[in-house]
Structure 1
Amino acid sequence: MVAPAIPEIIEDEDIGVAVDARTESLPGLRELGPPDLVHLTKQTAKGSSKQTGVYHHVTGIDASSSASLAAYVNTLTFNPTDKTHKVVSGLYCCYNAFSHLDMRVEVKIPGGVESYCVDERGDRRVATDSLWLETFLCAVLRAYSYGDDGSGSEIKKIIGVRRFNPIISTEMEHKFLDAAEKLFFNGRQLGSDPEIQTPNVVSNHLTAGLLKYIKTTGRYTSGVNLFQKLRERDVEVSSLLAQVLIAGDEEVQAVRLLHDSVQDIPMDYALLDCQAAFCLSKGEGEMALECAKRSVTAAPSEFSTWARLAEVYVALQQWDLALLTLNSCPMFSYQDKDSPRMPEPSRVLLPILPETALEEIDEGQPKQGEPYDSVHISLRKLQAATYQGTFLKAYSILTSVAAAIGWDELLKIRSRVFVMEEEYRSERQSSIAPKAPTSKNASTVALSGTPNGSRHADPDVSEEDSEEETEEPSSTAQPNGVENSMLAAESSMTKPVPTVNAQEVKAGNEDPDPPHKDYTNFQNKRLCERWLDNLFMVLYEDLRIYTIWRTEMGQYKQQQLQYKKSATEWEILGDLAERLHHSPESIEAYQQCLNIRFSPKAMTGLLRLYEKRGDTRNTLATLIRLITWQYRWYSEYSPDLLYSIRRLIEDEGAVKVRSIVQSTNLPQNVLDLTHEYCQLCAAFKSTGTET
């Protein structure tokens, strides 16, 4: 397979400032670290002594020794796009997140290799074999963590990153799993995903990377063997082993394992959560409910346990308890991946290989200097599109409730379970000045399953200040001159009235509590957390814009007029419809976007929706284009796209998948890129590749 092109970020004056910037950033790294940095010093080939510094980032290179990193630098000495310069030296920097060191290999051309590591103070230290083992494992985990899902979101974050597949053979897999086994119980040092409050043995970046590798490649037997060995040392690993067994279609064995393990560690929240997820997948909501409640009791400070309980209540159609449970979720600020902070370069060269040439990707793309797409202010201000981490998951649960029962019914349930500002003020005006509602808190309500009962009287209502500020929905200006559609949409949507602010209730300026009476309006209601109140306002804005869009579309269709939007606006509308669980409308908007120009985000949205439908031909059509687009921007490998290809081969068989790909009316050089993914599945003997 032809290697991706080599992007070059150029330093004409201060050579090496990129390396200096990386060294200065080392004390601030908290996760797996940034992609590897490769810095080259070039000199003009015709005898001039003038030198230039160029660099790019890379993931997926074998970092098990200085020799393997030096070998990569040597592959860069010949660059077909730059024949006027020669490389005289190179520096490869790879971060070791276990020991918080930057491993570095200096290559002099011709001849000469020196390896060392730099600590957070910028001092040099000796690079030992144990440090290289840690570095190798971190490099593989970064390759999976920084792998793009096809949408280009990761590609756009850091300019000029080459992405390679870190595990290209079963031999390399053995090397990876052996390193993971040796360092497994140090995994919590690497941190964890943003939805996890406290990293532990089974919830950290190492276990997440292992599970993603096993899921991507389908190497379930290798995963089972690894976790069985680790389980002998710590029974907590049972939850990871059970997840792999379930994914590998060994459900009976997984259930037995879960049963036996819970006898040993009855309050292990990861085991209980795994049980709840399995029961929920089988439609056994009542069984899942007991496991989820127990999981919350075992880990009340973890978001994932509360989110699972909310999902169970949604499946059981107990909407009031679902909202109360959601209100109890501990929310965490989103911590993004470590990314390099580089100085402004002199120039940037982003070459494109001819092997990635595809007309439909090039057509319609804005040229340099052309204005960006116009996007209506109402679409630009949709806050839900920016959610990540715990807020994204919570919003997804809330939208699933709205999709199931409708907006008006959701508001009714909201007013039944939360104290509304209007009723609170009316109670105070009638000279009854209650303290914060004292019947019980939302957490105990969700666990007891009695939203209007009288058990667990507990006045302690937690309050969390989210980073998300409440923003009043903006009035949407008329996009296409259809006034009636705007008025109809506005009148059909009920704006959520505010709930009472917990700070106001607790401010201490109320009158002393008089002799108690029954406050029939809200004696059993809860205070709504500020972040959840904001989610309702965000959902209202999403639904309002969606309603306006569909109303306008209908009116234009009746008048036989063309409904015009820019490509970016169609992309936003497709994302909006998908968020609100309207798949047909989402597909329609994404296709409208792609009719104007190629968009990896729209194409990835179509891929998700086609996969849900089981539409093999359209799924493959989107995959071919996404693989080509990724390869064009230096990504030889995407874990998410490989997973999609592997699942298709598992369902349809490798011969059929290859035949459909080959029958596509696209250039052979483009089809060959997709065939490489199919060959990778064959190399790992994935289900469906047997001849």
Structure 2
Amino acid sequence: MAKIAIASESIAPAATSQVEIFQREGAMVAPAVPEIHEEEELHVAIDARTDSLQNLRELGPPDLVYLVKQPKANSTRQTGVYHHVTGVDASSSASLAAYVNSLTFSPLDKTNKVVSGIYCCYNAFSHLDMRVEVKIPGSLESYCIDERGDKRVATEALWLETFLCGVLRAYLYADDGSGDAIKKIVGVRRFNPITNTEMEHKFLDAAERLFFLGRQLSSDPETQVPNTVSNHLTSGILKYIHTTGRYTSGINLFEKLRTRDVEVSSLLARVQLMADEEVRAVRLMYDALQDVPMDYSLLDCQAAFCQDKGELEMALQCAQRAVTAAPSEFTTWARLAEVYIGLEQWDLALLTLNSCPMFTYQDKDSPRMPQPSRIMLPILSESVLDEIDEGQPKQGDPHDYIHPSLRKLQAAGYQGTFLKAYNLLTRIAAAIGWDQLLKCRSEVFVMEEEYRVERQHVSKPAQSLEAETNGAALGDNSEDEGTESGSVSGPGPAETEKVEPESGIERPEQTVASEVVKSGNDDPDPSHHQYTQFHNKRLCERWLDNLFMVLYEDLRIYTIWRTEMAQFRQQAMEYKKSAPEWEILGELAERLHHFDEAIEAYQSCLATRFSPKAMRGLLKLYEKTNDTRKMLGALIRLIAWQYRWYSEFSPELLFLMRKLIEDEGAVKVRSIVQATNLPQPVLDLTHQYCQLCATFRSSGSDT
């Protein structure tokens, strides 16, 4: 791949004031510019984006930047190239045009010149694609395209909405450091949309003006119905505050909004808790619940607070009330299940989990582009790090071998409510063991075998079995309405296969399907009969039954892995796996809450080649052990890898850097980074994250 050389200023020597140092260091280094080349026809990518507008359901895809180039020596032949971007200021046509103009000079392509460009930015409030066409040199035209492909006038009100959507996409669609988001879409430049307090004011002002329209933006996949306090706008605001530590700004915003709607109290309380203003938060929650006693978001906030304080009996009361207030929401049931797990009431935890409403996962909007003719992925010279490059597969090399049993682990692909539910199930399994979990399962759910045996002792099957066995997980009949599972949509049954003898994991028996009980094929009138054996049992939802099978497969593969490793060590032999296999095994162990084994797998992966996911896994270990030096070593490498793939901004990595500076002080953090035996340009990228903390006057940034 070609490399771009972009100059960056050297780091100033240590000084008393960290702010002064960062001010001398200048602006952040811009990532390289990827180029996706179209086939012969121009503007095919623009047409594809227009066609996709009617299918967008979330915040919209990343912004599209389309350039038309022609050779400097030949003005007749033109080609189209494009890339995607997030975090560019989309508050006006002028700011988008400035971005296009910044691309007119490319150190990678010196034979062609840019003659025009189109910047497309989606407005999720009004379902319009805002576009700015730039002729170079020459004119600028701004307009918007609706879902039918018709042109409309771009007004100031529409630009305000577009600006806010751009910031939310930058935060909510960012990579968490693992590389998953970066690998999902090729060629996306990711910028930090808020780099100073002036931009923060602009963002929060827009958020305040459009706050009560936020429910139009959809919500996280765990939320059934977007509302005033649960939508992508509120999620984005909370993520910004959590990342930057700008608690006072968040408190001021929500205090103003609370005067217009008391439901905003739950958001205000969450920010106060982030800021360690616990007394104010508790008083606020108490006062607000006098006005809105059935506000499930407030009740959930109370339950979470009590959980954190170890007051599980109090958390239980709050969680039960939250379920009563919002029986169709997944989050309330999941919180209740968490509390039961904390109380070690495993049967009630399973029954509650069984009652969770499960929703079809709605993925983030992503671009659907035609097949390109070629893709240019230049590497920023500042991000070049030998240990990241070494061992990486070259173009044309055969793919790494991955054992089929590792490829088909379904849990790795879970998202949304199914991911959260699976995590709860694995927590129970980690606490009591697989055998005890199966025993608990058979005690609370009707098993297929016992159902078949019981049927032989009665003359007619009971159609009403489910009603008779529908014991409330809450221990309170007033909350039975919450046991409906809503729109259930989950993965299909896990593939069955013969158990290897060395796994030693018992395969779970099948529970009886509710369709079987409700079918009524054998008897049209079962009202006078009942299965007394099942009076206190429930029917297991099919999706939960599937999770048990998926968990069984995870445990089976995990047990085989650990058994094989022990055998190899006993014989003083090396246990070999490919880098992707070690990565999968690390994720597997992490899913099953075997932390030490996960770290071991991630380390084995990194010994073969660099992997952002494995490095992110190690970073969790260093966080747990408070190893500042190793945390910074991991952060430096992750930041460099992100820059390499065009991302200067990861909220998760910025948060970790801020917390380190808060705990250790900026001078110590800076000194440790500078003392690392890595190329200076790579260290400068990390220093830029520190600079952001200084700009926002984060705690510890001036010491």
Tell me how far 1:449 sits from its aligned partner: 6.1
Report 1:82-97 matches (<5 A): 82-97=109-124
2:197 to 170, 186, 200: 170
- 3-state DSSP class of the match of 1:448? coil
Given candidates 561, 571, 574, the residue that maps to 2:586 is: 574
1:358–1:667 contact (8 Å) kept in structure 2: yes
Q: Secondary structure at the match of 1:469?
A: coil
Match of 1:487 among 501, 504, 508: 501
Q: Distance in 2 between matches of 1:441 and 1:24?
A: 51
- For residues 478-536 of structure 1, give each alpha carbon's deviation from its aligned partner in whole angstroms, at most 9, with x where no partner exists: xxxxxxxx5232xx211100000110110012336678677453111000000000000
The structure 2 residue matched to 1:598, chosen from 610, 617, 629, is 610
Is residue 70–residue 107 contact of structure 1 (8 Å, CA) maintained in 2? yes
Amino acid at match of 1:415: S
Deviations 1:365-421 (A, max 9, x none): 001111111111111111100000000000000000000000111001000000000
Distance in 1 between residues matched to 2:603 and 2:671, nearest whole Å = 25
Provide the C-alpha distance between the structure 2 equivalents of 1:28 and 1:377, rounded to a whole number of angstroms.
35
User: What SS does the aligned partner of 1:447 have?
Assistant: coil
CA distance in 1, matches of 2:146, 2:665: 50
What residue in structure 2 maps to residue 14 of structure 1?
Answer: 41
> Are 1:439 and 1:523, in contact at CA under 8 Å, matched by a contact in 2?
no
Instruction: Measure the CA separation in 2 of the matches of 1:605 and 1:459.
Output: 37
1:176-223 CA distance string (max 9 Å, x none): 000000000000011111110000000000000000000000000000
In the alignment, which residue of structure 2 is the partner of 1:608? Answer: 620
Cα displacement (A) at 1:431:
2.4
State the 1:68 CA deviation. Answer: 0.5
> How far is the alpha carbon of 1:101 from its aligned partner?
0.7
Out of 132, 135, 158, which is 1:108 matched to? 135
Query: Does the aligned pair in 2 maintain the 1:440–1:456 contact within 8 Å?
Result: no
1:431-470 mapped onto 2 (5 Å cutoff) = 431-432=458-459, 433-437=461-465, 442=470, 445-448=472-475, 465-470=488-493
User: Closer, same or farther in 2 for the Cα pair 1:299/1:515, shift >3 Å?
Assistant: closer
For 1:422, the equivalent position in structure 2 comes to 449
Partner of 2:211: 184
CA distance in 2, matches of 1:669, 1:461: 57
Query: Equivalents in 2 of 1:224, 1:466: separation in Å?
Result: 38
Bigger CA drift: 405-414 or 660-669? 660-669
Residue of structure 1 equivalent to 2:354: 327
Contact kept in structure 2, 1:214 and 1:220, CA below 8 Å: yes
Q: Is the deviation greater in 40-49 or in 174-183?
A: 40-49
Matched, 1:399 2:426: yes
Residues 589/457 of structure 1: CA separation in 2 closer, same or farther (3 Å cut)? closer
Distance of aligned partners of 1:457 and 1:586 in 2 relative to their CA distance in 1, 3 Å threshold: closer
Gapped runs of 5+ residues in structure 1? 477-485
The alpha carbon displacement at 1:616 in A equals 2.0
The alpha carbon displacement at 1:463 in A equals 7.8
Counterpart of 1:379 in structure 2 is 406
Distance between the aligned counterparts of 1:409 and 1:123, measured in 2?
62
CA offset digits 1:148-171 (Å, max 9, x no partner)? 011111111111100000000000
Question: 3-state DSSP class of the match of 1:521?
Answer: helix
Q: Which has the higher contact order (CA 8 A, sep 6+)?
A: 2
Letter in 2 for 1:469: G
TM-score normalised by length of structure 1:
0.95
Decide which of 73, 77, 96 is 1:46's aligned counterpart. 73
Q: Secondary structure at the match of 2:52?
A: helix
Please name the residue that 2:22 is paired with: none
Match of 1:337 among 336, 354, 364: 364
Partner Cα separation in structure 2 for residue 475 and residue 222 of structure 1: 58
1:673 to 685, 695, 701: 685
Letter in 2 for 1:500: V
Rounded Cα–Cα distance in structure 1 between residues aligned with 2:391 and 2:485: 52
Aligned residues: 675
1:508 matched residue in structure 2 = 520
RMSD: 1.8
- Counterpart residue identity of residue 299, structure 2: L
Q: Distance in 1 between matches of 2:381 and 2:202?
A: 35
Q: In structure 2, what is the equivalent of residue 646 of structure 1?
A: 658
1:422 CA displacement? 0.5
Say whether residues 1:130 and 2:142 are aligned partners.
Answer: no
Match of 2:240 among 184, 198, 213: 213
Give the match's secondary structure for 1:309: helix
- Per the alignment, residue 9 of structure 2 pairs with none
Determine if the alignment matches structure 1 residue 370 to structure 2 residue 382: no
Q: State how far apart, in whole Å, the 2-side matches of 1:336 and 1:91 are.
A: 27
Q: 2 CA distance for matches of 1:16 and 1:345?
A: 12
TM-score when scaled to structure 2? 0.94
Amino acid at match of 2:277: E
Distance 1:665 1:440, change over 3 A: farther
SS of equivalent to 2:169: helix
Which structure 2 residue ranges, 5 or more long, are not aligned?
Answer: 1-27
The equivalent position to 1:290 in structure 2, one of 317, 324, 349, is: 317
Letter in 2 for 1:291: C
What is the alpha-carbon distance in structure 1 between the residues aligned to residue 698 and residue 313 of structure 2? 36
Q: Assess if the C-alpha contact under 8 Å between 2:586 and 2:614 holds in 1.
A: yes
For 1:247, the aligned partner's letter is: M
SS of the residue 2:393 aligns to? coil
The 5-angstrom pairing of residues 522-561 of structure 1 reads 522-561=534-573
Residue correspondence of structure 1 range 185-264 to structure 2 within 5 A: 185-264=212-291
AA matched with 2:463 = K
The separation in 1 between residues aligned to 2:327 and 2:446, in whole angstroms, is 24
Q: CA deviation at 1:457?
A: 9.2
